[in-house]
A = this chain, B = another copy of it.
């Protein structure tokens, strides 16, 4: 089992470390890259040899961090996993470097404790929020570049301060990062105000196939494997399309059906407060959270649609009955 560290202990380990390899999770997001990036520049400031490794590479959109990717240019003597909740999330292609993780810095309460030692803050909205305390404790100044990296992690993990994980402290940290010179205008444009042509195309296709059900309380979009393949959209851009149907006013349940390469349909269920997405998905063998859940169904589109719509109807009918009963009481 991993040893839980205090900030000062983690600082001690990092200050002693030499030839440091920083590991990100696969399908990298702004927090794993931004947090690794901030630590990269902090360790550089202390004169150390350091590089960043991610199974899927460092996405081009984070080019402004100017990180050095690990390509075997030194033999790592200290390995730090950043924002990685479990060992499965590293990705198989970098397995040679994930056998012994000396330190893990993370904010996921579910962290599996796979590292030798772990610095965990389950209350933090992003690993970047934790590093905002750690880096100054290392005696390193928050330069504009480090602030850019931390702002990237903080803003992407909170949907630019929209998600429910955003706390007063998240905003305090954002204020501090702006004070340290983070270029928030440029970063926000890169991170939140850009969509690929492929994403725009798949959105067009999805909107052309949008359906409303149950007096507009349910909206459904679907995409066949041919449409997904033809659009050439990346997986992460396809993932966040699932928020679209729920976003429509009056919609309580938003459904996104995406055909998988094998032919089955992966269904994302997103709901408004008060409608249990997990209950809907579970009855079809899936699972998830109360407002975001999913399941996968074999068979053709018509079958998949009929099955999920029947469960949505059941849930909405139950809610109607409960509200009628409440009205009578």
Which A residues lie at the B interface, using CB under 8 A? 160-164, 166-172, 174-176, 178-179, 184-186, 188, 192-197, 200, 203-204, 207-208, 210, 212, 216, 243, 246-250, 273
Contacts and interface: CB of A to CB of B under 8 A. Distances in A.
A212 B194 CA distance: 16
Given A204-B204, A207-B204, A194 B248 contact: yes
A195 B247 contact: yes
B184 A175 contact: no
B178 A175 contact: no
A174 B161 contact: yes
A178 to B, nearest CB: 4
B207 A162 contact: no
Contact of A168 (B168, B170, B178, B246): B178
A204 B208 CA distance: 7
Protomer copies? 2
Given A171-B172, A200-B210, A192 B162 contact: yes
Contacts of A273: 186
A169 B162 contact: no
A195 B161 contact: no
A185 B125 CA distance: 14
B247 A197 contact: no
Q: Which 7 A-B pairs have the closest CB atoms?
A: A171-B175, A204-B207, A168-B178, A168-B175, A171-B174, A164-B185, A162-B188
A194 B272 CA distance: 11
Between A160, A169, A171, A178, the greatest number of chain B beta carbons within 10 A of the residue's beta carbon is seen for A171
A227 to B, nearest CB: 14
A186 B247 CA distance: 13
